[in-house]
Structure 1
Amino acid sequence: MASNWDSLDQAQRDAVDANVALYERVRPALKRVTRDVLLTLRDMLNDAEVTPLFVTGRTKTVESFREKISRTDDPLEPGGPRVLKFPDPFRTLNDMVGIRVITKLPAENAAVANIIKRQRQLFDCRGDREKDIGSIESGTYGYSSRHLILRTIQNETVKEYQHVFNPDMPANGSYFFECQIRTVFAHAWSEIEHDIRFKAEDPRAWTPHFDRQFTATAAMLETVESAFADLHERYEEVRGYWDLEGDGGMPLTPNRVRDVWRTLLPHVDRKVDDDWGWAAELLAAHGLTKTVELAGLLSANRITEVRKALDHRYSPGPDRLLDDLLLWQYGTEHIDLTAEAPDVVPHPRRDSLQRRLKQIERYRQTAL
């Protein structure tokens, strides 16, 4: 495979060789810097409200360093020779030390970035960009990744590295490094893309179909991440229903009953109107006035048993299903509280509830 090195003239190769020799000498000290900032970030994020899947670090290999500083830019003058892109790599490269923070969901990228940027006594953030912003604005697809350029502050391990690099210069403990924050899905995508696009053994093996496939998978990745983000948001909302100090303690107004129902049972919705006053009245008849009590009533296992017991010929709407759930839970008490009085004629609701209660009782006997 052709490398950037192959295209250099002799003077450029001499300059690259000198920097590579220096890098080989200082790299052991730089690896200790990598370990230091990695452990610092791990400790910082272990105690945070958002815990990443994992945090890794690496010090650029000598081979990777050589290849990167062998890159060239267009000539300074028309017709002139190409020039080295990084003539002074130790001053301009920020990725010799690299940290990756891998999260579960896209929203966690911003949360992690904010946690790191708040630690101003340890790091000074000198750059912050979203890798996928360009793709969003151009209507194309790519993987999403948050890139921070951080500078250490009075770091003792950095001072040791600086002394190894040049013992005649005062060590200030300041060093720039890169921290990438991305989801596990974007991480997998980028690793595969990098292996094929940038580390392919033979560039002649490339085909435009690969570009098309990478674009398609990036689009699918965005859809999957969005689906998991929605799932997580719904989970957090449902979990809040069980918090009596929070959402769980909210009163069951008609609109609240509707919102809880549509969150827990979105597949069982009203087909005609949006009036949920009937539901609030049925629940209040049994003293059920808080969100947590409705969440407890709408147990998946209980709904399954009710469906089996009553063998519904048609999928019941919320009104019928809620009525059956309360009948399952409270039996004759539900009939006495919500049906016509026994001496009222006719009493179709009482008759219907009594018939359904007998079905429930027969089911419970056979299920024992």
Structure 2
Amino acid sequence: MASNYDRLDAGQRVLVDASVATYERVRPELKNVTRNMLQTLIAMFKDSEVEPLFITGRTKTVESFREKISRLDPPSVPGGEPALKFPDPFRTLNDMVGVRVITKLPAENTMAANIIKRQRQVFDCRGDREKAIGSIESGTYGYSSRHLILRTIHNDAVRAYQSAFNPELPANGSYFFECQIRTVFAHAWSEIEHDIRFKGQDPRAWSPQFDRQFTATAAMLEVVEKEFADLHDRYETVVSYWDAEGEGAAPLTPDRIRDVWQTLLPHVDRKVDDDWGWASELVAAHGLTQTRQLVELLDAERITEVRKALDHRYSPGPDRLLDDLLLWVYGREHIELTAEPAEAEPHPRRDSLQRRLKQIERYRLT
């Protein structure tokens, strides 16, 4: 398979070979710069509001450097000769040193970028691009990643590299490098895509089906990311319900009961209207006035036991299931607090509750 370098003419190869020789000479110092950037970023995220899955980095290999600087731009005029895309790579390339911050969820990408950009005494952010924006605006799917171009400030590892590169120039410790921030899903996708699309550059080994599959997997991964983000948000909401000093102390208004129910039991929401006042009255009858008390009542194992005990002919909606849970916990007290007076005629609710309580008592005996 022909490489970019193989397509160069003799004059272009001379220029590329000179840059590659310089790169081979200074690469050990660039590896130290990469190591320093990694250590700096790891320390930056310690005890922060974001905990990346991992932070990794690499110094471009000599082979990769040669291939990249061997790229050609099309002729500027008809009939002209293609020119080197990077005739002065040490001045124009920002990816000889690259680091990646790998997160769990898309929302963490923004938080991680903000943490890095706030460290102005360490880095000066000179570029910030969201690689997915073009795909979103064009209605397509593709590579998703946040790319920061950072400039180091008075960095000693950079000064050592600059001295090795050209000892006659003053070393100021300022160096541009690339920092990519992306989720673990986007990271996996991009690594596989890079291996196939960019390392396999022989057009004879390409099929349109590859494009279709990459597009399909990008779309699926976006859905997976959204589902995990929703799962995380739901988890954080449920955890907050148990905070006795915060959300757990919120009063049980009808709207609050609806929101808690739809968060914990979205599969048991068969109501045909939006009136949750009945639920507020039922729980208030037993002195349940705070969110945490309702969450404790809606215990998953208790719901399972209630379903077994009453063997519902039809899947109960929120009103019936809440009523049964209160009956399970409070027994006859629930009947006396919420049913018609014993002397009332007729008393269909009292009869229904008494029948269901007997079912519960028989179930408990067995």
TM-score (norm 2): 0.97
Please, what is the CA RMSD of the aligned residues? Answer: 1.3
2:36 equivalent to 1:36: yes
The structural deviation recorded for 1:226 is 1.5
Distance in 1, matches of 2:50 and 2:121, equals 20
Query: Mapping of 1:149-228 within 5 angstroms?
Result: 149-200=149-200, 202-228=202-228
The structural deviation recorded for 1:341 is 2.5
Query: Mapping of 1:297-312 within 5 angstroms?
Result: 297-312=297-312
2:358 equivalent to 1:358: yes
8 A Cα contact 2:271 2:318, kept in partner? no
Q: Which residue identity does 1:58 align to in structure 2?
A: R
Q: Which residue identity does 1:162 align to in structure 2?
A: Q
The structural deviation recorded for 1:201 is 7.1
- SS for the counterpart of 1:115 is helix
Q: Which residue identity does 2:206 align to in structure 1?
A: W
The residue number in structure 2 matching 1:325 is 325
The residue number in structure 1 matching 2:275 is 275
The residue number in structure 2 matching 1:336 is 336
Query: Mapping of 1:1-368 within 5 angstroms?
Result: 1-200=1-200, 202-366=202-366
Question: What do residues 82-132 of structure 1 show as CA deviations (whole Å, max 9, x unaligned)?
Answer: 111111111100000000111111111111111111111111100000111
The structural deviation recorded for 1:202 is 4.3
- SS for the counterpart of 2:200 is coil
Q: Which residue identity does 1:108 align to in structure 2?
A: E
Distance in 1, matches of 2:269 and 2:56, equals 46
Distance in 2, matches of 1:25 and 1:34, equals 16
- SS for the counterpart of 1:39 is helix
Distance in 2, matches of 1:363 and 1:143, equals 56
The structural deviation recorded for 1:235 is 1.5
Q: Which residue identity does 1:111 align to in structure 2?
A: M
TM-score (norm 1): 0.97
8 A Cα contact 2:241 2:291, kept in partner? yes
Unaligned runs of 5+ in 1: none
The structural deviation recorded for 1:41 is 0.6
- SS for the counterpart of 1:87 is coil
- SS for the counterpart of 2:170 is coil
Distance in 2, matches of 1:340 and 1:271, equals 24
- SS for the counterpart of 1:363 is helix
**Number of paired residues?**
366
